[in-house]
Amino acid sequence: MNEETFWLAIAMVLVIEGLFPLIAPRAWRRVFGQMMQMKDGQIRGFAMGSILLGLLAIWLLSP
């Protein structure tokens, strides 16, 4: 992976992260409020699952 690919991936993450609050700000606020009520372990578990899913996708899609 070269530097350009890295920055393109970061830019894509920013676009995707911005879609939910743009399309459904009320729902985004509600979900964010629910996340604020979660325990640290629950948030870490969700984050770990997301990381593992992302790594699996990268592994499967890499030539």
Q: Is 63 helix (H, G, I), strand (E, B) or coil?
A: coil
Query: Is the separation of the CB atoms in 28 and 21 below 8 Å?
Result: yes
Least confident among 13-17, 36-40, 59-63: 59-63
pLDDT value, residue 62: 85
Could you tell me the pLDDT band of residue 26, with boundaries at 50, 70 and 90?
very high
Residue 1 has pLDDT above 80, yes or no: no
Residue 35 has pLDDT above 80, yes or no: yes
* 24 secondary structure, DSSP code: -
Q: What is the pLDDT of residues 36-60, one digit of tens each?
A: 999 999 999 999 999 999 999 989 9
Phi-psi region of 2 (alpha: psi -120 to 50; beta: other; left: phi over 0): beta
